[in-house]
Amino acid sequence: MTDYFRKKVHSDEIIATFDDMLIIPGYTNFDIDKIDISSKLGKYEFHVPIISSAMDTVTAEEMAIKMALLGGLGVLHRNCSLQKQLEMVRKVKRARSFVIDDVATIKVDAKLAEAKMRMEKDGISGIVVINDENKVCGIFTKRDFPYKEEIMNTGDVKDYMTKNVVSIDPGASREEALEMLFQHRIEKLPITENGHLKGLITTKDLKPEFPLASKDEEGRLLCALALSPKFPENISSLKLLKEIDHYTDIFFIDVAAFYKDVDIRGTKNLMESLESDFVLGNIGTYEAAEFLLTKCDFSEQFIGLKVGMGSGSICSTSIQTGVGAPTLYATAQVADAIADYNPKIGLIADGGFKNPGDLPKAIAVGADLIMSGHFFAGCEESPGYVDTIQGRKVKVYRGMGSKEARTSEFILDRYIEGESSKTLPEGVSDYVPFVGSVSGVLSTLKEGLRNGMIYAGANNISNMKKAKVGIISNAGQIEQRPHDLMGRY
């Protein structure tokens, strides 16, 4: 049945979607608590194979941080200036780390107002005070601000900071740092060498609150950012992009259709100038994947392909242009090309997910991870505010091809460029229900994935890819949903 399904989706007979397919139940011979849903993308391992989309109403720094803490990944959107992108990646990297190398500092002769502005801008509760020689002079935290507002405008940091700073030597272990923090009842521990600042350790970064967190080799949260395939137009933009590269683990090339010569050439140029790894996309066919895997000679920075075109709940590309590759179809196609040419390349199924049961379907036809905007747009961690319409709490969710999103100059190259395409929207904007914290959403999605794997008889992602699948008729689609009841479904 699986071979038949693959043959069908590779032909012109059918372009299957999630609703067209079911996984055939399998034999389960393992304990339920032995289910392993972890997956890999290049050298990176994720305990939760779920990614939030690079959309400006889905993933900014707050969502990216929470997704990484919970074991997944959030791809920061690029619908903003490079300077704003730099601020976002810095915040993600600073959020949880055993040792913070990029320490927020302020000069000893600074005013209180400057300290307040810096702390609010960086979203931090304290700052290290240094002199011109980069020697630590004190620690200033939110608790050190004077009560009187008039002093805030004129006072000096040096008059209110903690001057007797407890510090630790470079190379100290986590256990040594914990002991010193507890012994002195402090939250911030500068790392110094002959008085010079070398880093910072904080209490929150040592707490094992998130054992599944997606981290880099230095213990910092993994950071991913959407990237245009266009090479920067000037030296200053390139310099800024290289600074962004310093904080970013994975760049996700972010265009609706990557199978274009101009995007491929631009990406190769970017790889030569940047050090981070790359996921390329989106594509939708075996032929596109075959070309990228065999004809383009990408560097080893190329670690993954993102697939699916026109499936998103707020995407209208297929309606507006008549061209598309639904995510399930695209996943099956590209999975076979990866198996044929380079099994080390990761596969991300992007968009079109409506129910938790769609996740095991995507894995079954070859995906390593799934990416969604729909599931996460209504979370409290997504950008934007919670509104109330007809008594229901909602948040705005918009496609990056919508008129509203494309008023910005930063993502015009995500779709077809030129005068003829400026007025053609390839997405819509609307409200989605507010669903609370992303942790609850991920819990539901993980349960749907695990239960699907149990029914299929697969105890890990690799075995899930061997599950038997089949096409279901229209009558079968109706029958598998609640039906013949008095209530509305």
What pLDDT is stored for residue 1 in this prediction?
Answer: 44
* Contact partners, residue 129, CB within 8 Å, separation at least 6: 105, 106, 107, 108, 110, 136, 137, 138, 139, 140, 157, 158, 161
To the nearest 10 degrees (0 to 180), the angle between helices 438-456 and 61-69 is: 40
Average pLDDT, the chain: 88
Beta-strand pair 21-23/469-471: antiparallel
Instruction: Sketch out the chain's domains with CATH numbers.
Output: 2-96+211-479 (3.20.20.70), 105-206 (3.10.580.10)
Active site residue 315: yes
Beta pairing partners, 403: none
Is-above-0.95 flag for pTM? no
Residue 79 clears pLDDT 70, i.e. is over it? yes
Active site residue 96: no
Residue 396 clears pLDDT 90, i.e. is over it? no
What pLDDT is stored for residue 149 in this prediction?
Answer: 72
- CB contact at 8 A, 94 and 412: no
Choose, from 94, 96, 406, 414, the residue flagged as catalytic.
414
Average pLDDT over residues 281-309: 97
Choose, from 78, 96, 223, 315, the residue flagged as catalytic.
315
Residue 134 clears pLDDT 60, i.e. is over it? yes
Average pLDDT over residues 68-87: 96
- CB contact at 8 A, 307 and 282: yes
Q: Distance (Å, rounded) from C-alpha 474 to C-alpha 94?
A: 50
- pLDDT tens profile 205-243: 776 678 899 999 888 899 999 999 999 989 999 999 999
Q: Amino acid letter at 139?
A: I
Q: Distance (Å, rounded) from C-alpha 461 to C-alpha 400?
A: 31
Which backbone phi and psi does 382 adopt, to 5 degrees? -75, 155
Which backbone phi and psi does 46 adopt, to 5 degrees? -120, 125
What pLDDT is stored for residue 275 in this prediction?
Answer: 98
Residue 271 clears pLDDT 60, i.e. is over it? yes
- CB contact at 8 A, 163 and 180: no
